[in-house]
């Protein structure tokens, strides 16, 4: 696969690209089209850079890497599923998936909108130096939880959550760690930097 980052840096040196660690409960847009009195946080509560837009979305209840850019071609490259840009998520799931569940995710699972493409999936240790979440996850004393790394190249709505639920391990917390070659490394929750 062509190095996405290097290709766009070389071709369009004037592109502004921002990496943002989106906190839980923040909308992936600059305005809230909800009610006038809405108190929901948006990107504008964290980023005051004109002319950049999110390349893809991250659900309000998910956290992690969001790429913003002023380059429409780069935005399409990242967000359009036909480009198959890999995205890696860290999912804290209910229970401990066995090899059969992991293999099902690797091969693709059937969802209401069709079968998913194969994913790269592995159990992982809990992420080091993980920031606290503003709203704690649901914890059950009788059911353990574990962390799974999931890399997909599609972009269906709430895909990782639906995939883990399909194999019997609902997602409790979801963090997008990587998009193409960009990662969250060095970014605290709510912080951003130029790529």
Domain map of the chain by residue range?
4-81+185-194, 86-179
CB-based contacts of 173: which residues, under 8 Å, 6+ apart?
63, 91, 92, 133, 137
Query: What pLDDT, in 10s, does the model give residues 93-137?
Result: 999 999 999 999 999 999 999 999 999 999 999 998 899 887 777
C-alpha distances in Å from residue 27, one per residue of 34, 47, 51, 154: 11, 12, 18, 21
Note whether 4-81+185-194 and 86-179 share their fold. Answer: yes
DSSP state, residue 54: E
pTM of the model: 0.88
Fold designation for 86-179? Alpha-Beta Plaits (3.30.70)
Query: What pLDDT, in 10s, does the model give residues 52-108?
Result: 999 988 999 999 999 999 999 999 999 888 889 999 999 999 999 999 999 999 999
Pairing of strands 110-111, 114-115: antiparallel
**Cβ-contact 30, 18 below 8 angstroms:** no
Estimate to the nearest angstrom the gap between the alpha carbon of 78 and the chain centroid: 12
4-81+185-194 CATH choice from 3.40.50.720, 3.30.70.580, 3.20.20.70, 3.20.20.210: 3.30.70.580
Catalytic residue set: 59
**Please, which residues bridge with residue 145 across strands?**
94
C-alpha distances in Å from residue 69, one per residue of 24, 28, 108, 157, 163: 21, 13, 31, 21, 29
Query: What pLDDT, in 10s, does the model give residues 131-160?
Result: 988 777 777 777 899 999 999 999 888 999
Question: Strand, coil or helix: what is 114?
Answer: strand
């Amino acid at each position: 696969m062509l190095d996405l980052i290097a290709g766009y840096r070389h071709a369009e040196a004037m592109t502004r690209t921002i990496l943002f660690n989106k906190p839980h409960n923040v909308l992936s847009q600059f305005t809230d089209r909800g009610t006038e009195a809405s108190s929901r946080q948006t990107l504008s509560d964290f980023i005051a850079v004109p002319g950049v837009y999110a390349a893809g979305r991250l659900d309000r209840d998910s956290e992690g890497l969001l790429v913003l850019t002023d380059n429409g071609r780069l935005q399409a490259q990242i967000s359009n599923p036909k480009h198959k840009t890999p995205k890696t998520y860290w999912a804290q799931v209910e229970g401990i998936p066995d090899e059969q569940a992991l293999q099902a995710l690797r091969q693709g699972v059937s969802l209401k909108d069709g079968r998913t493409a194969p994913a790269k999936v592995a159990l992982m240790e809990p992420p080091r130096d993980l920031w606290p979440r503003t709203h704690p996850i649901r914890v059950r004393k009788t059911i353990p939880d574990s962390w799974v790394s999931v890399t997909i190249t599609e972009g269906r709505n709430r895909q990782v959550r639906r995939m883990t639920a399909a194999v019997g391990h609902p997602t409790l917390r979801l963090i997008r760690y990587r998009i193409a070659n960009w990662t969250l490394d060095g970014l605290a929750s709510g912080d951003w930097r130029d790529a």
